[in-house]
Chain A
Amino acid sequence: MRSYDSKAHRHTRLRQDTQPFQRGIIRHVVLILDLSAAMAEKDMRPTRYLVTLKHATTYVREFFEQNPISQLAVMVMHDGLCHLISDLSGNPTHHITAIQSLRNPVNPRESPREPKGNPSLQNALEMARAQLYHTPSHGTREVIIILGALLSLDPGDIHKTIAACARDRLRVSIIGMSGRLKICQEICERTNSGSDASYNVALDEPHLRDLLMSTTTPPAIRSGATEGTAEDGAAGPVGASLLCMGFPSRTITDAPSLCACHGTLSRGGYTCSRCKAKLCSLPATCPACGLTLILSTHLARSYHHLFPLRNWIAVTWKRAREKGTVQCAGCLIKFPTIPMGAGVDDVGGSRRDKGKGREDEVMENGGESQEERERDQLSKELGASESSRYECEACEGHFCIDCDIFSHEQMHNCPGCLSKPAFSTVMEEDGNELANGTANGMNGLNGAS
């Protein structure tokens, strides 16, 4: 997610975002850190332990940035045991303080926790399973383990634990720091319906960070029996449900009053829509009536996972001349001049087959198989553009690579599509987001049905 390794990065990003998956937006995640003796290794500077703590802190922030209505718990594997250091909750500062207090305990009498002993994956999984046991069925249950050691010292049969985890719909991702372990691979395979894509070994610190950050994206929902109790075969995740939520407004009162969540005096706050209890921060569960209180912006933050922006394709010189674009439609930067006349053949000669106009291409591809067309499309999306232009197929605007990356990674909007009234009328009429070059988001959501 965060590696910006020029073209390679564009590739990975494109591969990720092309298909709109149905994603588990409401997540319940247990983050398990290794605090065994192996974490004192110095192959990552200063030690693996400190590097992990640093990234775990940023991870918590990023996680709640991306998944505001999700919940997280943090555990550590220390000296054969697994300790819960912060409960399942949606408050990032709570987790960050807990992670930081590993090294700098709040209570001065406690000694900071240093890496010690061996980790136990079984204990960790059992503990995570217990922690996630009561979570509602519409949310995902995920376990993310950062494992530095090359062993797991277990009190019992870990295979039984793995089976129990799979039965309870846990999805385990493991990020190793030393080498691949068969048992980790098995855990990931068994809990992710046979795919071990969630088991990765970090090569170095940036890689570790990337692996960790890639888990902030909500996971795609799998349809299938492994997910558990979908007997009726209905589309959607197991136990999709309608949730009652409150959208409180922020109020300022003249006189300070106590908040229901912490009991501190404050003038501002949010009042629960149902019972009018005052809370100081959102998202939260009303302590008085138990209603889930969120801001509508929290929901909106997840929409781009559901309606991803359509990929832009590389523009050939011929197409560029057809459109005659000289500037990026987003940032007004100038494109390289289109070579005139004979120069075209020299430059674009090697790519003549790809360099045909869109109409030609459609004609030509008419008889080809769907698969070939898809492959052709993919190569168009993946390739670097010879003319430094990238085209949004919905609005036919041309953009530079920077705007391409910015629009797809951060904004999830197409500047061109949104600047045309036709698109906004589509939106007004249909009431959904077919505009904005989104890659048929709704169909994607319906995909399983």
Chain B
Amino acid sequence: MNAIDGTTSSFHVRSTDAPPPSLLVIVLDTNPYAWSLLADTLPLQNVVANLLVFINAHLAINHANQVAVLASHTHCVQWLYPPPPPPLPTDSTGDVLMTEPDQPDPTPHPPTDDANKYRPFRLVEQQILSNLRSLLTSSPPSSHTTALIAGALTTAMTYISKATLLASPVAAPTHTHTTSSVLPTADAINAPADASTAHDPLSSRILIVSVSGDLAAQYIPVMNTIFAAQRNRVPIDVLKLAGDTVFLQQASDATGGVYIAPGLEVGAGKKEGEDAAVVRAQGILQYLMMGFLPDAAARKWLVLPGAEEVDFRAACFCHRKVVDIGWVCSVCLSIFCEPLPDATCLTCGTYLALPANHNVAPAVVPRKKKKKKRLPDGGTPRPGGSTPAGSTPGGGTPMR
């Protein structure tokens, strides 16, 4: 009995002392337009090669670490790893759920040999490369020039939430993924809210490798995902290689992630700055390894890189101008850059009263008029006026 007790307790101790496994979801912006602009200095294949090294490093740090890679393309969001669902519903396996809590990547491929240490590396690389290749070759020429970052982030968050659910000890014995696994969700959600994350077994984070700018159209969905990430304590790291989006910076700031924009740092002169930016962007592997490899547990002890100044200005809904003082509809919270001409909200059509003093020019204290001498005769034209005629002197026209 004692021996059994000893083993179980030591097992428990070891399992709690070990660094918690972490799940890294990489959102790779594969916007072909943006990458073609970068083709001379930083081609996609270089970045992908560096990313693979980074992924291997992540997997090597902890045996239980997991990785997932999403491509945020212009016309779709595609899983690169774990592989996307097969196109045909040729699912003949009777096994409903083959994911074990220890191996939550639901790959439909033959189970891997855990004994062979390098097999996971090879598998991940193979999958990512082949899926990326098929995505790029199969993508039709489309008119959309912005990457679907919001969709990719949303998908990443659902994946993370499910992975957290599967990894939590309560959920481990459940082998049906229907309603019976709802209760553990509650624990996973409530845990960060009131208690602590002490028993949170899986720390997740998202890394966005972004090259395209202009997310204005996806503002609200992106914001929604940011808040979901914030609630679930999922830091969003951003590696900004080109382009400029305010929202991703806000995302990393709000969720406590790392924001590095190697290509966009302020150079001394324009030309010099460009060259330096190119050089800096080519050291992408170093940025990845130094800035993004530490997981949430390690980051507590590190001084993180990041932009200290964050642009929090908002874009107005009427002209898409970036404003720092705006007018906000109290019903739908739309932001406008100037008071509306007909006092009707453009978004919700509500009649909006302006504050009474909004366009009243500040009054200037009038100069004290000199009291004119009262005329000796014909002073008061108004009959019966009891007031003295001091205010309306002379010809009866009030002087203003």
**Are the chains A and B members of one assembly?**
yes
- Interface residue ranges, A against B (CB under 8 Å): 2-4, 6-7, 9, 22, 25-26, 58, 62, 65, 138-139, 232, 234-237, 239-252, 268, 270, 273-274, 291, 295-297, 299-304, 306-307, 321, 324-334, 336-338, 384, 388, 399-403, 405-407, 409-415, 417-421, 424-425, 427-428, 431-433, 436, 442, 445-446, 449
Residues of B within 8 A of A242 (CB): 327-330, 336, 339-340, 343, 345, 352-355, 358
Sample of 7 more A-B contacts, CB < 8 Å, known A402-B185, A419-B154: A243-B355, A247-B312, A249-B313, A297-B250, A334-B177, A403-B158, A445-B349
Within 8 A of A (CB), among B52-105: 74-77, 79, 82, 85-86, 88-89, 91-94, 96-99
Report yes or no: A333 in contact with B227, Cβ–Cβ below 8 A.
Answer: no
Contact with B358, one of A240, A244, A424 (Cβ below 8 angstroms)? A244
Report yes or no: B178 in contact with A299, Cβ–Cβ below 8 A.
Answer: no
In the bound assembly, the distance between CA atoms of A256 and B397 in angstroms comes to 60
In the bound assembly, the distance between CA atoms of A302 and B329 in angstroms comes to 13
In the bound assembly, the distance between CA atoms of A223 and B46 in angstroms comes to 60
Residues of B within 8 A of A239 (CB): 353
In the bound assembly, the distance between CA atoms of A240 and B180 in angstroms comes to 45
Report yes or no: A442 in contact with B347, Cβ–Cβ below 8 A.
Answer: yes
- Interface residue ranges, B against A (CB under 8 Å): 74-77, 79, 82, 85-86, 88-89, 91-94, 96-99, 106, 108, 142, 144, 146, 148, 150-152, 154-155, 157-159, 161-163, 165, 177-183, 185-186, 189-190, 193-194, 217-221, 223-228, 231-232, 250, 254, 308-314, 317, 323-333, 335-336, 339-340, 343, 345, 347-355, 358
In the bound assembly, the distance between CA atoms of A139 and B331 in angstroms comes to 9
Residue ID in chain A nearest B226 by CB atoms:
A297
In the bound assembly, the distance between CA atoms of A239 and B352 in angstroms comes to 7
Q: A326-B85, A326-B86 are in contact. Are A249 and B94 (CB under 8 A)?
A: no
Residues of A within 8 A of B353 (CB): 239-242
Report yes or no: B228 in contact with A411, Cβ–Cβ below 8 A.
Answer: yes
Q: A242-B353, A403-B158, A419-B76 are in contact. Are A247 and B224 (CB under 8 A)?
A: no
Contact with A234, one of B77, B163, B351 (Cβ below 8 angstroms)? B351
6 contacts between A and B (CB under 8 A): A22-B348, A241-B330, A300-B224, A407-B158, A425-B144, A442-B347
Report yes or no: B77 in contact with A419, Cβ–Cβ below 8 A.
Answer: yes
How distant is B321 from chain A, measured CB to nearest CB, in Å? 12
Residue ID in chain A nearest B92 by CB atoms:
A337
Report yes or no: A436 in contact with B350, Cβ–Cβ below 8 A.
Answer: no
Q: A297-B250, A297-B312 are in contact. Are A4 and B189 (CB under 8 A)?
A: yes
Residues of A within 8 A of B99 (CB): 333
How distant is B186 from chain A, measured CB to nearest CB, in Å? 3
In the bound assembly, the distance between CA atoms of A62 and B7 in angstroms comes to 43
How distant is A117 from chain B, measured CB to nearest CB, in Å? 31
Report yes or no: A240 in contact with B350, Cβ–Cβ below 8 A.
Answer: yes
Residue ID in chain B nearest A435 by CB atoms:
B221
In the bound assembly, the distance between CA atoms of A130 and B17 in angstroms comes to 55
In the bound assembly, the distance between CA atoms of A138 and B354 in angstroms comes to 11
In the bound assembly, the distance between CA atoms of A330 and B179 in angstroms comes to 17
How distant is B318 from chain A, measured CB to nearest CB, in Å? 9
Q: Which 5 pairs between the two chains have the least Cβ-Cβ distance? A: A4-B186, A330-B158, A331-B162, A418-B151, A296-B314
Contact with A410, one of B77, B89, B228 (Cβ below 8 angstroms)? B228
Residues of A within 8 A of B330 (CB): 25-26, 138-139, 237, 240-243
Report yes or no: B76 in contact with A420, Cβ–Cβ below 8 A.
Answer: yes
In the bound assembly, the distance between CA atoms of A243 and B254 in angstroms comes to 25
Report yes or no: A384 in contact with B354, Cβ–Cβ below 8 A.
Answer: no
Residues of B within 8 A of A399 (CB): 158
Residues of B within 8 A of A411 (CB): 154, 157-158, 224-225, 228
Residues of B within 8 A of A402 (CB): 161-162, 165, 177, 181-182, 185
